[in-house]
A and B are shown apart, each in its own frame.
Chain A
Amino acid sequence: MSSENPPPLNIPLHIRYIQSLGENQDDLVFHMTSHLRLNAIYWGLTAVAVMGQKDALPRDLMVDYVMSCWDEKAGGFGASPGHDAHIHATSSAIQILTMQDAIDRVDVPRVVKFILSLQQPSGVFAGDSFGEIDTRFLFCAVLALSVLGHLHELDIEKTAGYIRRCKNFDGGYGAREGAESHAAQVFVCTAALAILDRLDEIDHDTLGWWLAERQLPIGGLNGRPEKLEDVCYSFWVLSSMSILRKVTWIDAEKLTEFVLSAQDLEDGGIADRPGNQVDVFHTLFGVAGLSLLGYPGLEDLDPVYCMPAKFIEAKGLRTNWQSLPRRRA
């Protein structure tokens, strides 16, 4: 499909696609993704919320399902019922419950304890007791503590110090110290620093330029030099640039065209690039990117928390990011 004059964002169709995910009969795909279940629900909920219809998904059922993922032994949430608690699932749970105004169901002191217990001596966070470390988990921890109002319990200097050690020669950040710069990891490090109020750690000029360089002539964004464009980078890169207040450096028109041309206009959803199979992950990040680009008819998104801005504002957590102004339809 050509990306010239692409079709507009078909909100009703994408909402129906997300609603239909619960009815999917493909058992192979489903059991293979049980480790993502709670994260997938967060992606779906945030997507419909940004498209203006948070209530398109049944609230009470969702809240009950989230609570069924609670791991009583560990004091955190697993990716699906019976799965061990993991920091990524825990932060997704907190995001979902916040958006559904059900955070009162959570044993906050226990969750805070679980999150803090995962911090390593170096300042990075492990995902769970398995011990895998990644700046993604650091971000999950910082986000969750912030949303729960318990950021003050974190050693800010220690946490920011680890991110500092991840800064690469190109101004970017990787999954851990020594790892290659990658746009998704740049996002988690930048967003974490925004929450920690330590954006001074970043080399704004070099990183801003590195991020601007992710845009390819066709309009899409990639995650590192010489890699293919992918719709999800329209969020990772764009949100980082919004936080650095440099989102105007992206050619918004061409990126918008790229994302819109990745829609499946028969069954709904957005894919990683035009013509490919859709999934809820790329549907969220495509819509999130469009929101930051000011696409008409969408709600404002907070790029730091990747949640509708109104929830973050209500908690007094809004930081100094900048997106493109919302265009009229």
Chain B
Amino acid sequence: MSAAFDDSSDEQQLYAADPEWADVVPLQQYEGVDPIAPIFYSEEYKDATDYFRGIVKTGEMSPKVLKLTEHIIRMNPAHYSAWQYRYKTLIALNSPLKAELELMDNFAIQFLKTYQVWHHRRLLLGALRSVDVAVRELAFVTRTLRTDTKNYHTWSYRQWILAHFNDEARLWPGELPWVEELLEEDVRNNSAWHHRFFVVWQSGVRRDEVDREEVLRRELAFTKEKISLAPNNQSAWNYLRGVLDHTHTPYASLTSFVQPYTVGAPSDPEDSIVDLENPRPSAGAELPSLPALEFLADIYEAEGGDGISKAVRIWKSLADEHDTIRKKYWEYRIKDALHGAQ
């Protein structure tokens, strides 16, 4: 819960001593009650928030209010009232919102995990209504993701930009290549896999993607390739299952792909028959792959008949050897399948 605190600002003159603020009546934090969780303020913070309460009371919306709110949110980026009032003031003053975005750029990088930072940008984008600005925002998001590749707010904000502007010409086309680059850098980035699903399957159909069969082929090929690079990567296997479920494609259609991942020894590297449809585990991969075993067991279970005992064998190996932390889950699967088979 600790927050970054930038103490590098110059010595700040108190608002109480600033002639520009002489016309504002500062209001103290509520007093009269001995709070159970007292807040011990620094002098600077107390002074600034006293004057904030003062201008909120009178409803003043002026340039000096912008300076004050910026000062407060720099000290405490989670002060949501200050953010809120700042936005209202920007609109009331008809301030250049693009400049506000730029001012906030460095800010956001410093306080990446603060909700308000992102919500403020969302409001600005909504008010500006410009695809140009949205293009710039996507580039900004790309930059901030470099410092924290899985930041939840950042990813969610990117999804909002894409959905809100829904621009086929300038916003959507770059997304797939972009997310591919990220997966190239870190194939285990769950946020990137989720984003891929969002772009490909959950945000309408792009003009050049109307052939859904082709899209499915492409996605399966992509995912299989990534699995061959990192056979135990949960995110890739979750993506695979998601694609199959979404397109109502039977898991069994991937049996020949999955099988080499379920055995202990990697395939003979001398085996020169390269099957592009079924890329094999890369050299040095840790086998058997647990997600592959789970996947194969699901195929067997869906078969029914003899498939059930094959599935049970796999689940037993997971419970007793490969994935003992989830023993109780695998024992549940066994019981459930045997019960269903009766």
Query: Could you list which residues of chain A lie within 8 angstroms of chain B, going by C-beta atoms?
Result: 21-22, 24-37, 40-41, 57-58, 61-62, 64-65, 68, 78, 80-84, 86, 127-132, 134, 168-170, 174-176, 178-182, 209-210, 212-213, 215-217, 219, 224-227, 248-251, 254, 277, 279, 281
Contact = CB atoms under 8 A, between A and B. Distances in A.
Interface string B150-173: 101001100110010000000000
Contact of B78 (A32, A84, A279): A32
Nearest to B237: A225
A224 B194 CA distance: 11
B39 A226 contact: no
Interface string B24-56: 000101100111111111100100000001000
Contacts of B278: none
A31 B45 contact: yes
A225 B103 CA distance: 34
Interface residues of B, number: 66
A81 to B, nearest CB: 3
B238 interface: yes
Contacts of B195: 180
Given A130-B80, A251-B328, 16 more contacts: A34-B76, A57-B36, A58-B36, A65-B33, A81-B30, A131-B123, A169-B242, A169-B243, A170-B241, A178-B163, A178-B203, A180-B155, A216-B325, A217-B325, A227-B190, A249-B328
Interface of B: 1-3, 5, 27, 29-30, 33-42, 45, 53, 75-76, 78-81, 83-84, 87, 115-116, 119, 123, 150, 152, 155-156, 159-160, 163, 188-191, 194-195, 197-198, 201-203, 233-235, 238-239, 241-243, 245-246, 325-329, 332
Secondary structure type dominating chain B contacts: helix
A328 B80 CA distance: 46
B325 A29 contact: no
Contacts of B243: 169
A127 B80 CA distance: 10
A30 B39 contact: yes
Given A178-B163, A224-B190, A251-B325, A31 B36 contact: no
Contacts of A168: 194, 197, 242
B152 A225 contact: no
A175 B38 contact: no
B53 A225 contact: no
Contacts of A277: 2
Given A31-B39, A32-B3, A65-B35, A84 B81 contact: yes
Contacts of A249: 326, 328-329, 332
A215 B325 contact: yes
Secondary structure type dominating chain A contacts: loop
A86 B1 CA distance: 20
A242 to B, nearest CB: 14
Contacts of B76: 31-32, 34-35
A227 B195 CA distance: 17
Contacts of B203: 178
B45 to A, nearest CB: 5
Contacts of A22: 35-38
B183 to A, nearest CB: 12
Given A27-B40, A82-B53, A248-B328, A180 B156 contact: yes
Contacts of A169: 197, 201, 238-239, 241-243, 245-246
Contact of B198 (A81, A130, A178): A178
B42 A251 contact: no
B8 to A, nearest CB: 14
A209 B290 CA distance: 14
Contact of B35 (A57, A68, A131): A68
A168 B191 CA distance: 12
Contacts of A281: 1
Contacts of B155: 179-180
A80 B39 contact: yes
Nearest to B78: A35
Contact of B39 (A37, A131, A175, A217): A37
B270 to A, nearest CB: 33
Contact of B42 (A27, A41, A180): A27
23 contacts: A22-B37, A27-B42, A32-B78, A33-B78, A41-B37, A61-B34, A64-B33, A81-B29, A82-B27, A84-B81, A130-B84, A134-B115, A168-B197, A169-B243, A174-B156, A178-B163, A180-B156, A180-B191, A180-B194, A225-B188, A226-B235, A251-B327, A279-B1
B41 A31 contact: yes
Contact of A225 (B201, B238, B328): B238
* 4 closest cross-chain pairs (CB), A and B: A169-B242, A81-B30, A27-B40, A180-B194
Most chain-B Cβ atoms within 10 A of its Cβ — which of A27, A83, A180, A182? A180
A64 B36 CA distance: 9
Contacts of B38: 22, 30
A221 to B, nearest CB: 11
B242 A170 contact: yes
B152 A28 contact: no
Contacts of A68: 30, 33, 35
